[in-house]
Amino acid sequence: MGNLESKIAIVTGSGRGIGRDIAIKLAREGAHVVVNDLDSDPAAETIAAIEAVGGKALGCIGNVCDADFGERIVQAAVEAFGGLDIIVNNAGYTWDSVIQKMTDEQWDAMIDVHLKAPFQILRAAQPVISRLVKDAAASGQPVPCRKVVNISSLAGIGGNAGQASYSAAKAGIVGLTKTMAKEWGRYNVTVNAVAFGFIKTRLTETPANGDAAITVEGREIKVGVNPDLFAAMERMIPLNRAGTPAEAAGAVYLLCAPESDYVSAQTLVCGGGLNI
């Protein structure tokens, strides 16, 4: 039995990258996981990986920015597994530009996916959590400690050139985290954030031909870091390397584990010692 045996978790953006590793890590510890991605194939791959280690998972495909998505993913967890114990707001991507070249579309996209979507998911979860707490109290059972982990970034703590919108959204996540910790403490819910540093994912690694892009809602967005810049950034990190998705997932797990039941309103930096 794992530390999260039979806990019910939502992990957005878990078809790929860090989110995939988070979902698999929670499942290895016994959690039942609702997997989300824009596309069905990556979500199916994550579900298959979870089932391969003996876990339980189901997919909730769609854009976290859709107005009804929060209600939809929360309901998926309740209908399939009977409750909700862990929420990891991980979905996101980068769309960079210096401010004089940044469009309103870029600004809105980053705020929507990194800040508004987590807000909407948490808003949708409140009635469910409140009901579960009242049901436990009415039956004389102890109220379990539930967990929210919001994903921020070092860019949200120290800023980053070319990422005004992304940095603003990730800074907002810290404020949302602290506020929700105060609002939901009465439900025995801890609310924390993990601020990632330089992690190797498809958003940071550039292929040999120098062309890297992702497609989001029909928009092709360039991603990746120039290899020379990548190496220079790694040299700035005290551990002298970028992190892996598995290591990033481990930081999230720390705040989901029962050992962190009295830790709330905190931002854990997962950056190999780098502090912008």
As annotated, the active-site residues are: 166
C-alpha 171/C-alpha 165 separation (Å) is 10
Instruction: State the Cα–Cα distance between residues 81 and 224, nearest whole angstrom.
Output: 37
Q: For strand 219-222 and strand 213-216, is the pairing parallel, antiparallel, or unpaired?
A: antiparallel
CA distance linking residue 14 with residue 155, whole number of Å: 21
Is residue 68 within 8 A of residue 62, CB to CB? The reply is no
Whole-angstrom distance, CA of residue 238 vs CA of residue 54? 37
In angstroms, how far is the first alpha carbon of the chain from the final one? Answer: 39
Distance CA(113)–CA(101), nearest Å, equals 20
